Structure 1
Amino acid sequence: MKIVIVGGSRGTGARLAVLAHEAGHDVTVLSRTGAAPAPGVRTEAGDAADPGVAARAVAGADAVVVTVGGAKGVARQRAAVTRSVVAAMQQAGVRRLVVQSSLGAGDSAREMPVVVRVLTRVMLAGALADHDEQESAVVGSGLDWTIVRPAGLTNGQPTGGWRATEVTKGAKGFGSIPRGDLAACLLGVLEDGSTVGRALGVSRC
């Protein structure tokens, strides 16, 4: 599979790029720096919020994964990038999209304990508003999308396991997850057609 990872030069995206490459996929990372997370992974430097950059990056892809974070001094960076990528995919006829959001975004806030929910909405108001806009763009895209909402992220050693549940099924998932496990989850979701049209809350087992 030809996979384009937007925001894959570091963090979860970089770990996903390594795992996907090791699994035999053709991987390209688009980031502002153009840094390569591992040998054999192609890179492109540019701002994915630029329609021209996004169009060049997704051309010929089988799937796109958006793992971009916020940018200092830039409001609604995740939403802007995601809208740009969605438009480029629609124009190029690329269907499969997986987007890393956050637990607490959209309707997932009800998965969280009340106290944590309130504190999160206060302390992460800007980031969650960005994710809300991002998710809205994804859900309304008409693409074959999956949204993945991790809880708190850590740089700890991967455990090799995770729990992914839907809000609509009444799940109460909460807890941190190592970025390596989230990357493995994203790759599994990408390869699983049954996750299309679903928003999954993800935490460690």
Structure 2
Amino acid sequence: MKITIIGGSKGTGAQLADLARTAGHEVTVLSRSGTATDGVTVLTGNATDPAAAARAVSGADAVVVTVGGAKGVSRQRAEVTRTVITAMQEQGVNRLLVQSSLGAGDSGSQLPAPFRLVMKAVLAKALADHNEQEAAVKDSGLAWTIIRPTGLTDKEPAGKWKALETTDAGQLGGSIPRRDLAAFMLHTLTDDSTVGKAFGVSS
């Protein structure tokens, strides 16, 4: 599979790039820094630039958006995602996976109880960005999946995860190692039953 990762120079995106490359996939990373794990194609550019986004998604079988916020930009994630969606529509690329955050959309009920008020207060701006991002994804007409992790850590991966839709029974934990989240994302890309769904994810 040819996978393009938008924002794959660090964090979960870098972990996903490494796992996908190791699994034999052809990986392209678009980032402002122009850095990425060994063995992948690296494109330097800002994903809010339509030309850069078009170049990155051209020929891809799937596109993953893992960007974070940007200093001085109130809706960075939403702006990047909209630009990437337009590029995918123009290039005929259909499979989209987007990393959002637990608490966004209708997932507030999945937050562990001690975190609910804190998340709403401390991460209000980030969640507003994710809400706008998710709305663009759901309106895109693409084969999308939204991933909403709990708190991300750099701990050693456990090799497992818990993934729940808002309609599922059960409770999510407070964190997940980035490597485990990346492994779930890679799994999701090859599972057609996840299309059109949003998952809260934790250890």
User: What is the TM-score when the length of structure 1 is the normalising length?
Assistant: 0.96
- Once the two structures are superposed, the pairs formed by residues 14-163 of structure 1 within 5 Å of their partners are 14-37=14-37, 39-163=38-162
Cα distance, 1:96 vs structure 2: 0.3
* Structure 1 counterpart SS, 2:171: coil
Separation (CA, whole Å) in 2 of partners of 1:98 and 1:127: 19
Separation (CA, whole Å) in 1 of partners of 2:6 and 2:112: 32
Cα distance, 1:40 vs structure 2: 1.2
The one-letter code matched in structure 1 to 2:83 is: S
Q: Which residue of 2 aligns with 1:185?
A: 184
The one-letter code matched in structure 2 to 1:160 is: G
- Would the aligned equivalents of 2:63 and 2:95 in 1 still touch at CA under 8 Å? yes
Cα distance, 1:171 vs structure 2: 3.9
Separation (CA, whole Å) in 2 of partners of 1:112 and 1:15: 24
- Would the aligned equivalents of 1:62 and 1:96 in 2 still touch at CA under 8 Å? yes
The one-letter code matched in structure 2 to 1:112 is: L
Cα distance, 1:116 vs structure 2: 2.1
Separation (CA, whole Å) in 2 of partners of 1:65 and 1:13: 8
Separation (CA, whole Å) in 1 of partners of 2:12 and 2:133: 18
Separation (CA, whole Å) in 1 of partners of 2:50 and 2:108: 32
Cα distance, 1:114 vs structure 2: 4.6
* Structure 1 counterpart SS, 2:188: helix
Matched, 1:8 2:8: yes
The one-letter code matched in structure 1 to 2:11 is: G
User: What is the TM-score when the length of structure 2 is the normalising length?
Assistant: 0.97
Separation (CA, whole Å) in 2 of partners of 1:166 and 1:150: 12
- Would the aligned equivalents of 1:48 and 1:54 in 2 still touch at CA under 8 Å? yes
- Give unmatched runs, 5+ long, in structure 2: none
- Would the aligned equivalents of 2:102 and 2:200 in 1 still touch at CA under 8 Å? yes
Cα distance, 1:175 vs structure 2: 1.6
- Would the aligned equivalents of 1:105 and 1:131 in 2 still touch at CA under 8 Å? yes
Cα distance, 1:144 vs structure 2: 0.3
1:45-89 Cα distance to aligned partner (Å, 9 max, x none): 000011111111101110000000111111110000000000100
Separation (CA, whole Å) in 2 of partners of 1:43 and 1:171: 40
Separation (CA, whole Å) in 2 of partners of 1:97 and 1:171: 27
Structure 1 segments of 4+ aligned residues over 4 angstroms from their partners: none
- Would the aligned equivalents of 1:111 and 1:174 in 2 still touch at CA under 8 Å? no
Report % sequence identity: 63
Separation (CA, whole Å) in 2 of partners of 1:112 and 1:32: 32
In angstroms, what is the RMSD of aligned CA positions? 1.0
Aligned length in residues: 203
- Would the aligned equivalents of 2:96 and 2:142 in 1 still touch at CA under 8 Å? yes
